[in-house]
Structure 1
Amino acid sequence: MTDQSITVHPIAHVVGGRVEPTDDYWGGTRAIIRIDDPRFDADSTKGLEEFSHLEVVFHFHLTDQSDLHLGARRPRDNPAWPEVGIFGHRNMRRVNWLGVSRCRLLKVDGLDLRVEDLDAVDGTPILDIKPWFAEFGPRGPLHQPSWPTEMLGDYFAPGHTD
């Protein structure tokens, strides 16, 4: 099955917001997800304004695709954190270069979705957009090691300028 190929096409692109991917300070970042695939019209977003959040699947189009390590490595190359395999990370170094983000939906304006806290940059190809259903959130007790909490302490902190 590993030789099976899947073709996907962007249905939208990010307009505005951040221009460079960085590790932290995505909080308050506002952008537009512009649905620019001609197959869709305003009916495709009907009812979406009733939801507070979206789940967005996108392509890490700016990532250096030669920077891929399939084995274990330390998150953000921090020697204080343990080595974990590629599937223990949520970074942009993915075999298929796919990202998933949950963001706040501020407004639906036809085919423009105004969002906040989307951790994708201007020009990012969007592959799918789904409303967030609370029922699809985690079920049962949650647990994780301490390093993600340490690493992501400023991930959604308000952006700042130096």
Structure 2
Amino acid sequence: MAESYEVVPVAHVVGGRVEPTDDYWGGTRSIIRIDGERFTSDAVKGLDAFSHLEVVFRFHLTDPTDLNLGARRPRDNPDWPEVGTFGHRNMRRLNWLGVSRCRLLEVDGLDLHVEDLDAVDGTPVLDVKPWFAAMGPRGEVSEPEWPSVMLADYYAAPGER
């Protein structure tokens, strides 16, 4: 069942944070700079009509020895239940893939100015998609209590609390 794929970044994050942190991503502004060697401005035509993007990226700063493919407590908090690797959204993943939804502020050539992208300067971007509300969750959404508690400050502005 083991297969491998080569994935080439279509862009890189420029600016914003320089190191990953657990919280306070609110108001973080950065640029997704699309590779001008492979793409022209036609690649982003019409993208400015969307308010949000979905961005697939690689956690390029992850320590390869810091993987935990089994169960562990979120943020190592003893008050929260053990959750398997697929119950987490962090960087400790086998393929080091992250997915983020962010606000698109401006399209300037092949530079996508965004806010609240929780990827750091230099992050390889594997894909950019416009957010379609119709593609969001269907039906009632349920989750345990711990993610809401854990992420209460995730999109707070630095120094807000």
Structure 2 stretches lacking a partner, 5+ long: none
Q: Deviations along 1:21-51, whole A, 9 cap, x unmatched?
A: 0000000000000002511011100000000
In the alignment, what sits opposite 1:101? 100
- Say if 2:36 and 2:110, in contact at 8 Å, map to a contact too: no
Structure 1 stretches lacking a partner, 5+ long: none
Sequence identity of aligned pairs in percent? 74
Q: Given residue 69 of structure 1, which amino acid in structure 2 is its aligned partner?
A: N
Q: Deviations along 1:73-124, whole A, 9 cap, x unmatched?
A: 0000000000000000000111100000000000000100000000000000
What is the CA-CA distance between 1:65 and the residue it aligns to?
A: 1.1
1:20-35 correspondence to structure 2 within 5 Å: 20-35=19-34
In the alignment, what sits opposite 1:79? 78
Q: Deviations along 1:101-149, whole A, 9 cap, x unmatched?
A: 0000000001000000000000000000000000110000111000000
2:128 and 2:69 map into 1 onto residues whose CA distance is: 28
What is the CA-CA distance between 1:160 and the residue it aligns to?
A: 3.0
Q: Does 2:133 match 1:134?
A: yes
In the alignment, what sits opposite 1:152? 151
TM-score w.r.t. the length of structure 2 is 0.97
Instruction: Give the paired residue count.
Output: 160
